[in-house]
Amino acid sequence: MGKAQYAAADETSTSSPPHEGTDLQTQLANDPELQGLSLYEKKAALVNRELDSHGMGRYQWCIWGLCGFGYFLDLMWAQAFGLALGPITYEFGLYGSNAYLSANLSTAFSAGLTAGAFTWGFLVDIVGRWWAFNGTCLIASVFGLCLGASNNYNTLLVLTAFCGFGVGGNIPIDTTICLETLPQKRRFLLVLLSLFQPLGVVVSSAISYGLIPSHTCAADVQNVLCGTQPAGQPCCDKESNYGWRYFLFTLGAVTMFIFLLRFVAFRFRESPKFHLYRGHDDKAALVLEQIAHFNRREPVVTLEWFQALTDDSMSMQDSTHKGKVLGGGVSKDQLTWGEFFRLEAQRYKILFATKGTAYMTILTWLTYMFDYLSFSAAGGYIPLILAAKGAQLGVSTSETYRNYVIIYLPGIVGALLGGVLWSVPFIGRKWGMVISSILQGVSLFLFATASTEAAYIGFNVLEYFMQTLFNAILYAWTPEIFPAPIRGTACGLASFFGRIFGIVAPQISGHILQDSTPNMTDPGYGNAVLYFAGAAVWVSTICIILMPGKRMGAQSF
């Protein structure tokens, strides 16, 4: 591999490559882009440089698409339980004095999502990206396929939680993997991963439209729980209410198909930056070579480049531990177990290393908390609210499920707009999130005032459009501000804190709904929930406004 081969495709580095006949170590030591960086950061910068030279190769597009399917699954399943809640309510008697129990379905899924975000977020930085990339889909698919077999509500709740555990790791893991694979100048594609979320909602809604209305209890027995009716009177039994089961079986099969695409059809290579931080420079170089060959080109950055940095490029930051730093030229095999665990514990201090970092970390957590509180509070009950408003206006069940598709399809445009705003001067990441979150809150308030079918569809479209736009930028921006050694953990923790509020949200919404307008025929049914969700997202708006814009868009290590 000649040193003069270094030539970027469409992602050209601003520094000069080493020249033939010039000592590689000297050239790298004098490289202006590497000055002032720790040894690990220098290696990570070389990885960025190598991947930038590929542009969007075959490997990058495959990773982007497969990570997009993780986003797809997240919203497909999140939407599923709201869509299935109606017929599940009929079959298991979750109405009247038991209406509050309906919130447990959303809570069980949110609990699984929370545990998944926390567990997979930590694991992705400890055991690697490969295990998490495949494990999340496998768990979600297995338990998703089992959901439709539930014969009682408690079994359904347990299976839902385990399905959520698999789904919960998708977004923090997929953004981490994608960021560490894409060229620096193509990071707007991180935003466009969110294109898959409305697709997931639309697919989930379309499948429910085809399966649930035609296989759900007749209207005159929907509130008749089997075993409580007078002898001879029909009730909502399992045989006449199989639609939600067919629906969940289908979603489980879709999830299994995506797992097979990840595990069988494509071979994901472990992140080079994960190998670097673990002290395995040789493995990082091998992965770069494998990616280059998959892209039908020759690699430029090799093990020799990493080794050229280890001799006399030790920064003050790395030397504080006498060179025994993972990613600083030392692997786990060269450390005692005590040293290894001490360094592992110190890695988490990166989140609060400086006042500025701590400030960003806390604001990021708060943003996620109130964002999840908002869309979980509204999302878990909007299908019921839509059904109630539709019934008041004489809209059939079939038309209501059709309207779900109409409402969520424009979210695709919201994700595209997020990709555009990402790089627009004076708007970018920060103000794109501020504007979209403000309008999301406004749309929820306006939705509560709707009195016609066209109005409630229109305001719901606006709400989901802005929600997609906001979250598209938020999810893409989060991994940017944290370095690779802690990136998966940081994204997982942000999602974890958000998911905790997602657990609380349906419980709060359920009590608000029951205390304010328990009767579905009430014209104001669900409005208090919408007001609550709108106010919550505005707290996220305040957090984004307080964030320093200079931290957004820097090179990722």
pLDDT band at 510 (very low <50, low <70, confident <90, very high): confident
Each residue's pLDDT tens digit, 38-96: 788 888 899 999 999 998 999 999 999 999 999 999 989 988 988 888 888 888 888 77
Task: Tell me what the mean pLDDT of segment 433-459 comes to.
Answer: 86
Residue 331 to residue 284: CA distance in whole angstroms: 12
**Residue 540 reports pLDDT greater than 90:** yes
Q: The pTM is what? A: 0.80
- What pLDDT is attached to residue 326? 58
For the chain, how are helix, strand and coil distributed in percent, rounded to 5?
A: 75, 0, 25
Each residue's pLDDT tens digit, 231-281: 767 888 888 888 899 999 999 999 999 999 999 999 899 999 999 888 888
The conformational region for residue 256 under phi > 0 = left, psi -120 to 50 = alpha, else beta, is: alpha
Quote the tokens at residue 196.
């898959």
Each residue's pLDDT tens digit, 385-439: 766 666 656 666 677 667 777 887 888 898 899 988 887 878 888 899 999 999 9
**Residue 365 reports pLDDT greater than 90:** yes
Residue 80 to residue 140: CA distance in whole angstroms: 13
Chain mean position to CA 436: 18
- What pLDDT is attached to residue 157? 95
- What pLDDT is attached to residue 516? 64
- What pLDDT is attached to residue 323? 38
- What pLDDT is attached to residue 448? 80
| Phi, then psi, of 326 in degrees rounded to 5 | -60, 130
- What pLDDT is attached to residue 380? 64
Q: Which 3-state string (H, E, C) describes 104-146?
A: HHHHHHHHHHHHHHHHHHHHHHHCCHHHHHHHHHHHHHHHHHH
DSSP conformation class of 326: B
**Residue 6 reports pLDDT greater than 70:** no
Task: Tell me what the mean pLDDT of segment 517-534 comes to.
Answer: 71
Angle, helices 382-392/397-408, rounded to nearest 10 degrees: 130
Number of Cα atoms under 13 Å in the Cβ half of residue 341 = 3
More confident residue, 140 or 87: 140
- What is the overall mean pLDDT for the chain? 82
Each residue's pLDDT tens digit, 291-303: 999 999 999 999 9
Residue 13 to residue 9: CA distance in whole angstroms: 10
Residue 283 to residue 279: CA distance in whole angstroms: 9
Structural domains in the chain, sorted by start: 58-268+351-551 (1.20.1250.20)
- What pLDDT is attached to residue 390? 61
Tell the residue number behind the tokens 């964002």, with chain if given. 371
Distances in Å between the Cα of 86 and the Cα atoms of 21, 78, 520 are 73, 15, 12
**Residue 314 reports pLDDT greater than 60:** no
More confident residue, 511 or 139: 139
Tell the residue number behind the tokens 């999130």, with chain if given. 433
Task: Tell me what the mean pLDDT of segment 550-556 comes to.
Answer: 57
Poorest-pLDDT segment among 163-177, 324-338, 503-517: 324-338
More confident residue, 287 or 333: 287
More confident residue, 38 or 476: 476
Pick from 198, 190, 181, 254: which is nearest to 412 by CA?
198
Q: Where are the alpha helices (DSSP H) in 11-57?
A: 24-29, 39-54
